[in-house]
Structures are given as C-alpha cells and as structure tokens.
Amino acid sequence: MATLTIAAAQFAPVDDPAVNLETVRAAAAEAAARGADLLVTPEYTSYFTAEIDDRFVAAAQPLDGPFVSGLRDVARATGIALVVGVAESADTPDRFRNTLVAVLPSDELAVTYRKVHLYDAFGSRESDRIEPGDPGQLPVFDLDGVRVGLETCYDLRFPEVTRRLAAAESGAADVVVLPAEWVRGPGKEHHWRTLLTARAIENTVWVVGVGQTPPVGIGSSVVLDPSGVAVASAGATPGTLVATIDTAVTDAVRQVNPSLSLRRYDVALRGRSGGAAQR
C-alpha cells in the first residue's frame, strides 16, 4: 500500500509566462508547507488568453525554454513534484502544442503529455492553432510508489482515455490528474463534476480535476476517491486544496466493485485517419 499527498492549485493564468511562473512558485511553496508530494496546476498555466490565436503560437516555448526550466528550479527548491500545463513550441508552422509536463523533485522531466482530443466544441476550435498529440501516448509516471496518469480537459469527455490509464498493462495509474480550462457556460459545472465522478467510479481510480478560475474557467477543482466520493473540493475562487491518495482505499473499493477485472472489452486505438480529422 502507498500514499501520496496531492495539492491542486486553481487560478487564472495570464498572458505573461514570468508572472505565471511566480504563481506556480508561490503555490508550490504553500503545497510543500502543507505536506504535499505533488502540485497540480491548470491547463495553459504558462500562458493564457481568452482566445486561442497567434499570440499563443508566439508565446509557446520549447521544453528546454525558460518556463519549464523555471518549473525544474521550483521542484528542486521545494522538494515536491509538479504537473503543469504549458504552451509548447510545435514542429508545425503557426501551431503550438497543449502539453502537460511532470517534473520530479530531482528536477527531471518524468513524462510529458500532448493533448490528444482538441476542443472543437461549444463554439471553440483548438485545432485551428494546436498540433494534436499522438493517440498512442500513455503518460503514467511513478512517484513514491503511486502511479500518476495524465490527461487534459476535453479528454475527459472520452472515457477510453481514463480507461487506458487505469488499465494499462505496463503500469496502471492509481490516480489520474486532469488539468483543465473548463470554459464557463450553461450546464458546464454539471458536466465537469459528473464526468470526473463517472471516470472515478467506472475505473475505481482516484481522480484529481484542476480547473482555471473565472473569468473564463469555472474553478471547481476536486479530488475524488475510487468510489466517486469527493474528499476535497473548491469553488470558483483561486486557492489550493490538499488531499491524500491512499491505494489501500483503492483496494477496498475494488473488493466491493471489481469492475476493472470483470470487463469484457479492451480499448483499441483508432486508425490514423481518425486522428488526421482533428488537424
């Protein structure tokens, strides 16, 4: 059995990476002081404006650029791991990558995840500016004996994403962390909490959803146990919540509800033609 204390910092990033890095630095110091092993921040933490346009492309940085280098300094200085959403430079002209980086306390990059499901819904068109990630990614890393899986925002609406992380033969995730910029709108708070809860229940896995706060996002960060019970939650204002992931709880839930072991279907990747349609 293993435990991992996770801090989720929700805030509204701005269009200045240096300012956002200082926000992460302050959140990491608070998280470390509260006993956290891992800090998770929202999607687009490095840079954000309400419109996904050429400004994002111009602001995007490589993974060895100043923002991620700053994250590595923060992890080393505070002694905790970080999962942070960044705008990463892309190979495709006029586009960037919507990327999560997981940084260990040693300052090493444990894993990166480039968003697969682009937000071409509810009037938005991420695919106009974002280079989609490879659907074959399986971003799971180990931290103090707990396996942490990564996905981003709109991925939540595709249940097979979490199922692949929770049932991976190479090392299933004990907890799935999901940084988001869940845009406000009619029913959106209900969608967010319902889908996060469903992912926890159907996979009997811990789920941590971390959202941007208003004016664009809804906040509403939450930590859910493998039975879908919220053990920590936040409203719409900036702040940090802390909760401890306990794999003993996971084992107890799975004794009662062995849905993963009873499943009769596996998740298979679609052909490349399915991915090409998002570009």
Which of 88, 115, 151, 181 is flagged as catalytic? 115
3-276: CATH topology is: Nitrilase/N-carbamoyl-D-aminoacid amidohydrolase (3.60.110)
- Type and span of the H or E element at 147: strand 146-150
Distances from the Cα of 231 to the Cα of 22, 159, 222, 247, angstroms: 28, 22, 8, 14
Which residue's structure tokens are 């997981």?
102
Q: Write down the pLDDT at residue 238.
A: 98
Question: Is there a catalytic annotation at residue 43?
Answer: yes
Q: Write down the pLDDT at residue 273.
A: 41
| DSSP secondary structure of 113-129 | EE--S----TT--GGGT
Q: Write down the pLDDT at residue 272.
A: 53
Give the count of beta carbons closer than 10 Å to the beta carbon of residue 256: 8
Which of 88, 131, 153, 181 is flagged as catalytic? 153
Q: Write down the pLDDT at residue 276.
A: 38
Question: Is there a catalytic annotation at residue 188?
Answer: no
Which of 43, 126, 131, 151 is flagged as catalytic? 43
Q: In this structure, what is the dihedral angle of CA atoms 162, 139, 103, 3, given to the nearest 10 degrees?
A: 50
Question: Is there a catalytic annotation at residue 30?
Answer: no
| Per-residue pLDDT tens listing for the chain (279 residues) | 899 999 999 999 999 999 999 999 999 999 999 999 999 999 999 999 999 999 999 999 999 999 999 999 999 999 999 999 999 999 998 999 999 999 999 999 999 999 999 999 999 999 999 999 999 999 999 999 999 999 999 999 999 999 999 999 888 999 999 999 999 999 999 999 999 999 999 999 999 999 999 999 999 999 999 999 999 999 999 999 999 999 999 999 999 999 999 999 999 898 654 443 343
